[in-house]
Structure 1
Amino acid sequence: MQIESVRMLPGRHRAGDCTTLELVLSCAPQTAAALRPLAATLGAWAASRLAGTLHAEPAFDAAVELEQSAENPLEDLARCHAGLALWLQRAGGHEARWYAITGAEDEHGIRYCLEYDHHEVAASACALALGLIAGFLRARGVEPGDYRAAGAPASEPLPQAVAAFAELARARALPLDTTVLIDIARERDIPWMKGDRPPFESLGTQRIRRNGALRLGYGNRQHVLDGTLCLDRAGPSQRRLLEELDAVYRLLAELGAPLPERAACSSPLRARRSARALGYPVAVRPQSRRVQPARQRVDSDAGLEEALRSLRDLERGFFIERDPAGTLHHLVVANNRLAAVLAEGRPLDIQTVHPELLSVIARLCDRLALGVFVLEVVARDIAAAPAAGGSCVVDLWLAPELDRLIADRALHREVLEAYMRWLFPPGQDGRIPVVAITGTNGKTTTTRMIDAVLRAAAHRTGMACTDGVFIAGQTVNSGDSAGSVFHYQVLQDLRISHAVLETARGAVADFGFAWDACDVAVCTNVTAEHLGQFGIETVEDMARLKQCVLHRARRGVVLNADDAHARMMSVGLRAPALCWSSTTQPVAQLAQAHRDAGAAGKEASFVVVEAVEGLDWIILYTANGATRTPVMAVDAIPATFSGRAAHNLSNALQAIAATHLLGAPIEAARQALGAFGTSYENTPGRLNVVRESPFTAIIDYAHNPDCYRALVAFIDRWPVAGRKILMVGCPGRSSRQAVRDIAALVAGHFDRFISRDSRELVGYTEGELPALVRDELIAHGVVPESVSVVPDQGEAIAHALALAEPGDLVVLCTTASMKENARQQILACRPGQDATGQRQAAQPLH
C-alpha cells in the first residue's frame, strides 16, 4: 500500500476551486477489499491514536465516505484515505474539506485529489493517514504490507508520526484572524491569496504575525496584510509605533491621552532609583516593542532586578512607569469607530466609555489612518472621567492579535467585518479588469494587441505572455511567462489597473489558475498540439481544457467563429455577453450561429471584415447586431501586411472584440492597432521581417501544422524576386502525422529547405526528426538536392543565410530560445558582408 506520486496544484484548477494535492495510490486489491467491512470503527481507532496530541470534532467517519463509493475496493481505500487526511489537517488547525476521485490508473492504482491549506502539512497528513490505515488493518488481523508515501522516509512508529505531524501543523497554521478575514472576503467576493503559501515568498523575517500574510484584491485595488496590519497603508510613522515604545508615548501625549508617570532608563541603577521615586508597584517596559515580555509588573527591588535580567537588550533602553490601579480594558477600534470594549476579556457595552476617552480615540483615528487598533486603558471606572476614574492609557497596538484578545467568536467576526469595510467600503471588491487569452496559436500576439489597446486608453496594464512580464509596457522579466506563477506576479503588482494574461494550456493543466475569475476570456483556436500530456489525449480534451478558462469569465467571452472547436464553446458560459469574430463570415451568418448555439439569451456582438468603398474594413456590430460601427481599414494595421497575414488579422479582430467587452473606446483600438507592427521588438519571433541585409529574412515561431499553413499562405502572397529558402523544424514532441502534415504544407512553396533538429526529443533519436522531414518533403515532390539536413539549429540558421543571394527570401522557423540568435546572424549579413561576415560588394536591400 503506497502513495506512488503526489502533485501539488497551488492554484484553482479544472477539478476544483481550491489548492489541491493529486495523489496516485496503489494497493493489492485484496488488501483494499478488507477495509470496507471494518471501516465503521476506523474513525474511533484513529482518534484514539491522536488523543492528547490533536483533537478534532466531529470524529472521522469512514462509513460516510463509503456511502458514495461504487464498491470498488481501491475507491473505498482512496475515499477513506482522503477523508482521513482531510480530518487530520483540520485537527491540526488547517481548513480542508474537499476531495474527488478522478479515475483508476490500473487494477492496482487509483488517482484522486484532496484539498490542502499548507502543502507540507497536507503531505504529512497523507503519510500519517496511510500509516493509520495500515495500523488499523494490522490490528484487525489484515497484513497491509509495506506502506509509504512518495518521497517520504520509511514508515515510523505511529506515536512519533503523530507528534511530528502535530508540531508541523501547529507551526504552519493560519491565525484565526486571517482565517476569518478569508471567510469574509469570500462572502464579499473579494479575491484573496495567502501570502505565506506558494507561489508567494514570505514577507520577510521582520514579521508581525507568523502565517498571517494575506493579499486581498488585485493590482492597484489590493491590500496586503500582515496579521491585522494593512502594510500598504502603514507609512514610516505607523511602522515606528510598531517598533519603538517612546514613539507611542509621544503620540499619546500629543493627542492628550491620560498617561501614567514614567522614566526612561538605560541601567539597573537608574531603574531602581526611578522605581523608588515613582513608588512600587511599577511596570518595566522595554523600548523595543519586539522584546518580550512587553510589560512586567514588579513591586520590589528584587522583582525589578529579576525583570531586568529577563530583558536581553538593555542598551536600547527601557521605561519604568507607575503601575496604575484598576482593571485592564481593551478598547478595540475598527473602521474609525469603537467596535468593542473588553474588561479583562469580558465584553462591555461600548456606550459605557467616557467621552474624553472617545475623543482620544477619534484623534487617533485621524492621525493613524489605519483600519483597526487597540487602546489599552487601566481604569477603576471606564465610564468616569479619566481624572475621576483613574483612567490611564498604557498602550496602543496597531496590529492587534484580535483572536487572542476576543474570546467571543461572534464579536471577533463583527470587528473583522468592520475592518474589512474599512479596507473595501461597500460597493468595492478589490478587483481590476482581467483579460485571459487561451488557444493554440495566436495567443501571444492577441495578448500584446489587447495590452496595446488598453494602454492607448490610458490604462496602466500588467501583461504576462510567452515573451515575459510587462508593466505599463516595460519589461519586468523575459522568458515564457504565460502561466500562473507569472499571473500572480502581475496581479500582485500594486501599480496596475488592468491585467492581460496569456493563459497556456500546460500551466492550466499542471498548475491551475492564479485568479478565481476574469472579466473577459478569449479563445483564439484549438488544434491537435500538445496531446498526450496531463491526460489530454484528443483535440476534444484540449478544447474542454481551454473552455475552463472561458467558464471563469464574468463579463464577456470572445470566440473565433472561424475555428470549429472555438465555435462549440458558447454552451454553458456564465458571462452575459458573447462576441464572435471572423475574417471570412458575414455578420448575418454569425448571428444565426449565435442563435443556433443556444446562446440567444446572451448579448451578442460581432467583429467582421466587410468591403467599404473597395477596401476591407473591420466592422464592429453591437446590440445583437443592431448597431454597426466601422473600426478601421485592414490596411491601417501594419501587422496584417494589408491583409496578407490573415492570422494577424484574426488576432486583431479578437483584440478589438475583447477590448470592446471591457469598455475601451474604439479610438484606442484605432490608435494602438494602427501602430502595431511585427517588428522584432514588438512581437519577437512572430513574423518578424528583417530587411537590413542584402536579402529579406523572416523569423517566425511556426511549430505546428496550423502555424505553417498560415505562414505559407502569407509567403505565397509576398512578392519575391529571387528564391524562397525555408529553415523548417518541428518540436521534439511532434507526432509523426504532424511532421507529415508540415512537410506536405511547405512542399512546393519554397525553392530550398534546411531541416533542423529539436533539443527536447520525445519518441525520436537525435537526427531522426530532421531526416523524417527531409523524407516527407521528397515524398511530396521536392527534389533531394533542394533539401539539406543540418541538425544543429544555430548551424542551420547560418547555412540558410549562406545560401541567400540578393533578392532572395529566407524564412527561419526557429524555436523561442533561438530567435535572438537568428536575428543576430541576419544582422551580421548587412550590406558589405555575406552570411559568414566576409566583406563583399554592397547590395541593394529588397
Structure 2
Amino acid sequence: MRLELEEARRLTGPNLLWDHPGAILDVFIEGIDKSTVVNVWQKWVEKLLTEFGWQQHTTYRLHSGGANLALSAPMDALYCACDLAELAWHCGVAELKSETTPNWQQRLNELHGELAEELNPALLTFMHEAQKHGVSCITDDDDVSLGMGKSSHTWPVRELPVLRDIQWQHYQDIPRAFITGTNGKSTSVRLASHIAKAAGFVAGVTSTDFIRVGDNIIDTGDYSGPGGARMLLRDQRTELAFLEVARGGILRRGLPIDSVDAVLITNVASDHLGQYGINTVAELAATKFVVAKGLDAQGTLVLNADNALVVEQGLKLENKICWYSTDESNALIQSQLKTGGAAVFIRHQHIVYAMGNVEENIASLDQVPMTLNGAAQHNVQNALGVVGLSKALNLSTEAIRAGLKDFGSNAEDNPGRGNIYEINGIKVLVDFAHNEHSMRAVVKTINQLPATRKIAMFSHAGDRSDDEIRHLTDAVTELDASLYVVTELEHYLRGREIGDVPQIVGKYLQQQSIPSEKIHYAGDPLAGAKIAMDFAQPGDVVLLFVLADREQVHEYLTQLDNR
C-alpha cells in the first residue's frame, strides 16, 4: 500500500478543483481504494477543524495515480490551511496503516499561534470594500494593490490606508486577456502586443520567457504565473495586458487574477503529463480551460475550431465564443456565420474576420511574414487566434493589419519561435519546439519549403520517458534529413546521466533504418548548430531545435550571415 504526500501548497485564485482560495495536497494512492482514503482524510479534517474552531469545507479530485485534496481558507490563513490539511493527511494515513497517530492536539496548539501571526483581518476588510466598490484588488504575501496600470496603487499588506480616505473612483482597470494552450502561447502574446502597439497602446506581456512593458523587458525568466501578472498590472506604464497562463501556474496557484476581458486558447496536445495529477490529455484540456473561469460575463472566449480537445471543452461552456479555423467550411465556423457569432478563417489564402454575415478581409497570408506564405500552418493558426483576440478587445482592423504585416519571423520580434536566417544560400529555421505536437508542426513547415537537402539538429530534456523520447524523435525523422545532429542538454538532464538521451535517440534512429554516418552527436546546441552549418550547402534547409543556448546560437548565425 502506498500513501504518499507529494506536496502541500496554497491556491490563491480560481483553479481546477473550485473557485476558492485554500490549500491543496497532491497525494499518491496505491493498493487501496482511493475513495476510502479521501473519506478518512475528510473525517480527520472535520475533526481537526472542530477542535481548531474553524469552519471551512473540502473538495477533492481523483486521478489514476492518487488524488488532489483541497481545503478552503481565507486569503490571510493559507499557510495555516496547508499545515492543517497536511496534519489531517498524516493522521488519516496512520489510521489506515494501523500506526501510531501523530500528536495532533499539540500540533493544533502550535497552529493557533501560527495562525494568530498570519491573520490580517484588516486586509480581508480592505478586499471586501474593494469588491463592494467594483475595484480590482490584487494581493500577494507582501503587498496589496487597487486598480491597474496608470491608476494602480500598492501598499504593504500590514500598512493599509484608512478606508474612509480611499477615493475608490480613482482606481480603474485596463483591458486584459489570458492566453493559454499547449503550443503557440508565447508567439500569440507577442503578436497581440505588436498589434496593440500599432493601435497606440503601451502593451504589457507576461510569458515563459520574460515580462515586458512596451519595448522594455523588465526581467527574463518564466513569468507565466500569478507573480508576473501582478507585476505587470501594477506597472503604471501598462495600458493593455496580455497574460500568458501556463499549465503549471494554473495547477500550482490557480488563475493569476479573477477577471479578464478576453481569453485565447490556442490548442491542447500531450505535454508534461504525469505532473500534479494530470495524466491524460483530456485532464490537461480541462486544466487549460480553467482560464474560462476568469472571463467577464460579457467577455469573449477565442477558441481553435481545428483542435478536437478545444472543441470538446468549448462546447460545454455558455460563454460568448469566437471560433477560428484554417478551413472556412468547418462546421463551427459555418454555425457562427449563420447565427451571427464571431469567426476567423482562411478564404483563398486570406484571413477573414466575420461577425455573422458582416465580413472583413484582414490580410493575405503572403503579407503575414510569420506564416511563411502559408507554409507555417501552426503560425497561420496563431495569427487567426490573435485576430479573434484583438477583435474581442476592440482593437481596430487597421492596427490588426499593421501588426500582422510588421511582425517578423526573426529573433527580435519572436525569439526562439520560427526564426528564419538566410545565410549564403542556406535557409535556417530556429525553433524552441519541444513537444511532439509543436515539433511535428515545425517539421511540416520545413517540408513545405523547397530544399536540395534537409538537415536537423535536435535534443530532448531528460525528464521525458524513453518512449516519449522515441515519439519526439519520430517527429524529426519525418524530415527525411541528410544529416541528424543529436545534442546533449547538460542543464536539462533532470535525473539522467550525460549521454543517456543521445544514446536512446541514436539507437532509435538506426532502428528506423537511418545509417550511422547520417547521425552526428554534439555536446550542446551551439556545437550542434556548427556541425549542421558546416555540413550545409547552398540550397539546403537547416532546422535547429534550440532548447538551450539560444542566444549563443543566434549570435553564431548572425556572425555567419555577416561574413
Percent identity of equivalent pairs: 24
Q: Which position in structure 1 is the counterpart of 2:454?
A: 724
Instruction: Give the residue type in structure 1 aligned to 2:71.
Output: L
Question: SS of the residue aligned with 2:59?
Answer: strand
Cα deviation per residue 1:218-242 (whole Å; 9 max; x = unaligned)?
A: 3334343457987xxxxxxxxxxxx
CA contact (8 A) 1:104 1:110 kept: yes
Is the aligned partner of 1:423 residue 2:160? no
Instruction: Give the residue type in structure 2 aligned to 1:540.
Output: A
CA distance in 1, matches of 2:391, 2:127: 33
CA contact (8 A) 1:223 1:423 kept: no
Q: 1:80 aligns with which of 23, 43, 52?
A: 43
CA distance in 1, matches of 2:482, 2:92: 68
Q: 2:431 aligns with which of 683, 696, 700?
A: 700
Is the aligned partner of 1:170 residue 2:116? yes
Q: Which position in structure 1 is the counterpart of 2:245?
A: 503
Q: Which position in structure 1 is the counterpart of 2:485?
A: 754
Is the aligned partner of 1:620 residue 2:353? yes
Single out whichever of 628-637 and 750-759 deviates more from structure 2. Answer: 750-759
Q: Which position in structure 2 is the counterpart of 1:567?
A: 311
CA contact (8 A) 1:637 1:673 kept: yes
Q: Which position in structure 1 is the counterpart of 2:77?
A: 118
Q: 1:799 aligns with which of 507, 513, 531?
A: 531
Q: Structure 2-normalised TM-score? A: 0.86
Shift in Å, 1:193: 3.2
Q: Which position in structure 1 is the counterpart of 2:521?
A: 789
Relative to structure 1, is the Cα distance of residues 524 and 25 closer, same or farther in structure 2, using a 3 angstrom cutoff? closer
CA distance in 2, matches of 1:745, 1:775: 14
Instruction: Give the residue type in structure 2 aligned to 1:726.
Output: A
Relative to structure 1, is the Cα distance of residues 753 and 495 closer, same or farther in structure 2, using a 3 angstrom cutoff? same
CA contact (8 A) 1:686 1:699 kept: yes
Shift in Å, 1:187: 4.4
CA contact (8 A) 1:436 1:549 kept: yes
CA contact (8 A) 2:336 2:343 kept: no
Cα deviation per residue 1:407-433 (whole Å; 9 max; x = unaligned)?
A: xxxxxxxxx5x666x3137xx7x4322
Relative to structure 1, is the Cα distance of residues 788 and 120 closer, same or farther in structure 2, using a 3 angstrom cutoff? same
Is the aligned partner of 1:7 residue 2:14? no
Q: Which position in structure 2 is the counterpart of 1:17?
A: 19
Q: 2:360 aligns with which of 618, 629, 640?
A: 629
CA distance in 1, matches of 2:428, 2:445: 14
CA distance in 2, matches of 1:831, 1:539: 45
CA distance in 2, matches of 1:701, 1:73: 44
Instruction: Give the residue type in structure 1 aligned to 2:309.
Output: H
Relative to structure 1, is the Cα distance of residues 632 and 487 closer, same or farther in structure 2, using a 3 angstrom cutoff? same
Cα deviation per residue 1:635-679 (whole Å; 9 max; x = unaligned)?
A: 111212222222212111111100101111111101111110011
Single out whichever of 678-687 and 775-784 deviates more from structure 2. Answer: 775-784
Question: SS of the residue aligned with 1:424?
Answer: helix
Higher RCO, Cα 8 Å, sep 6+: 2
CA contact (8 A) 2:264 2:301 kept: yes
CA contact (8 A) 1:482 1:502 kept: yes
Shift in Å, 1:162: 5.4
Q: Which position in structure 1 is the counterpart of 2:321?
A: 578
Question: SS of the residue aligned with 2:428?
Answer: strand
Q: Which position in structure 2 is the counterpart of 1:556?
A: 300
Is the aligned partner of 1:185 residue 2:185? no
CA distance in 1, matches of 2:255, 2:239: 20
Cα deviation per residue 1:192-237 (whole Å; 9 max; x = unaligned)?
A: 3334x2xxxx3xxxxxxxxxx532333334343457987xxxxxxx
Is the aligned partner of 1:772 residue 2:514? no
CA distance in 2, matches of 1:791, 1:226: 48
Q: Which position in structure 2 is the counterpart of 1:432?
A: 174
Instruction: Give the residue type in structure 1 aligned to 2:458.
Output: V
Relative to structure 1, is the Cα distance of residues 147 and 496 closer, same or farther in structure 2, using a 3 angstrom cutoff? farther
Cα deviation per residue 1:716-773 (whole Å; 9 max; x = unaligned)?
A: 23233x5322112233334525623642553453211112234434686543433333
CA contact (8 A) 2:10 2:79 kept: no
Q: Within 5 Å, which residues of 2 pair with 1:705-716? A: 705-716=436-447
Q: 1:98 aligns with which of 54, 57, 76?
A: 57
Is the aligned partner of 1:520 residue 2:479? no
Relative to structure 1, is the Cα distance of residues 123 and 627 closer, same or farther in structure 2, using a 3 angstrom cutoff? closer
Shift in Å, 1:549: 1.5
Relative to structure 1, is the Cα distance of residues 25 and 505 closer, same or farther in structure 2, using a 3 angstrom cutoff? closer
CA contact (8 A) 1:754 1:800 kept: yes
Instruction: Give the residue type in structure 1 aligned to 2:168.
Output: L
Relative to structure 1, is the Cα distance of residues 766 and 538 closer, same or farther in structure 2, using a 3 angstrom cutoff? same
CA contact (8 A) 1:466 1:482 kept: yes
Shift in Å, 1:3: 8.5
Unaligned stretches of 5+ residues in structure 2: none
Shift in Å, 1:450: 0.9
Relative to structure 1, is the Cα distance of residues 165 and 693 closer, same or farther in structure 2, using a 3 angstrom cutoff? same
CA contact (8 A) 2:11 2:253 kept: yes
CA distance in 2, matches of 1:827, 1:25: 49
Q: Within 5 Å, which residues of 2 pair with 1:376-775? A: 422-424=167-169, 430-554=172-296, 555-575=299-319, 577-586=320-329, 589-592=331-334, 604-611=341-348, 616-622=349-355, 625-692=356-423, 695-720=426-451, 722-735=452-465, 736=467, 739-740=470-471, 742-743=473-474, 746-759=477-490, 760-761=492-493, 766-775=498-507
Shift in Å, 1:82: 2.4
CA contact (8 A) 2:26 2:276 kept: no
Cα deviation per residue 1:2-50 (whole Å; 9 max; x = unaligned)?
A: 98454213422211223322236899x99xxxxxxxxxxxxxxxxxxxx
Question: SS of the residue aligned with 1:732?
Answer: coil
CA distance in 2, matches of 1:130, 1:782: 52
Instruction: Give the residue type in structure 2 aligned to 1:77.
Output: V
Give the number of equivalent residue pairs: 555
CA distance in 2, matches of 1:105, 1:570: 24
CA distance in 2, matches of 1:432, 1:764: 46
Q: Cα RMSD (Å) of the superposition?
A: 3.7
Unaligned stretches of 5+ residues in structure 1: 31-69, 149-154, 203-212, 231-398, 401-415, 833-846
Shift in Å, 1:440: 1.2
CA distance in 1, matches of 2:82, 2:374: 55
CA distance in 2, matches of 1:71, 1:829: 59
Is the aligned partner of 1:217 residue 2:147? yes
Cα deviation per residue 1:263-310 (whole Å; 9 max; x = unaligned)?
A: xxxxxxxxxxxxxxxxxxxxxxxxxxxxxxxxxxxxxxxxxxxxxxxx
Cα deviation per residue 1:164-202 (whole Å; 9 max; x = unaligned)?
A: 433332222213x4322322334455433334x2xxxx3
Question: SS of the residue aligned with 1:448?
Answer: helix
Shift in Å, 1:463: 0.5
Question: SS of the residue aligned with 1:606?
Answer: strand
Q: Within 5 Å, which residues of 2 pair with 1:171-320? A: 171-175=117-121, 177-195=122-140, 197=141, 202=142, 214-225=144-155
Q: Structure 1-normalised TM-score? A: 0.59
Question: SS of the residue aligned with 1:678?
Answer: coil
CA contact (8 A) 1:5 1:23 kept: yes
Question: SS of the residue aligned with 1:7?
Answer: strand
